[in-house]
């Protein structure tokens, strides 16, 4: 998944076709790049921390008896978790609605691929479905680390 995340990031950074002028389309494309890079860096950080043992070491060194796990903290964790899941579900639902129902696909990288290779409607729909799967993973990589920052 880390490789897929970085391939998606590279694809997101290669959305410029040279015909951009100053305007909303250019700023939308420029705004896509930091989001894709953030997701890739968050996923890479977790992967490195997990595989080098740093994450395990942090959990082993933490003395849970020193913390007060009160009901207030438990409620806060549950609220933030539910909020993250709702944000992901609503974001993916909105993405699906725009991609499949309105036929107004907002992923400029995939639009470039669809137009460059003259893909049929069926092939474009398959590409859109794969894109939805990648976006689910990207949304989770973005939302859950942000939630962990607010719980602690």
Per residue in 3-33, pLDDT tens? 888 988 888 888 777 777 888 777 877 888 8
> How much is the mean pLDDT over the chain?
78
The two structure tokens encoding residue 110: 């995939």
The two structure tokens encoding residue 32: 């896509």
Summarised one tens digit per residue, pLDDT across range 98-118 is 777 766 556 667 777 777 888
The two structure tokens encoding residue 31: 């705004």
Domain of residue 80 covers 2-151
pTM of the complete model: 0.55
Domain count, the chain: 1
Q: Which of 99, 116, 115 is nearest to 107 (CA)?
A: 99
């Amino acid at each position: 998944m880390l490789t897929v995340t970085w391939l998606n990031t590279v694809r997101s950074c290669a959305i410029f076709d040279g015909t951009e002028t100053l305007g909303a389309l250019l700023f939308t494309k420029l705004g896509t790049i930091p989001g894709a890079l953030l997701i890739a860096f968050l996923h890479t950080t977790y992967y490195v921390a997990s595989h080098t043992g740093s994450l395990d070491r942090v959990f082993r060194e933490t003395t849970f008896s020193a913390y007060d796990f009160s009901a207030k903290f438990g409620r806060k964790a549950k609220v933030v978790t539910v909020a993250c899941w709702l944000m992901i579900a609503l974001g993916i639902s909105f993405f699906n609605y725009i991609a499949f129902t309105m036929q107004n696909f907002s992923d400029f990288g995939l639009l470039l691929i669809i137009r460059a290779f003259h893909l049929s409607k069926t092939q474009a729909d398959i590409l859109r479905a794969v894109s939805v799967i990648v976006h689910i993973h990207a949304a989770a990589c973005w939302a859950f680390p942000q939630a962990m920052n607010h719980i602690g």
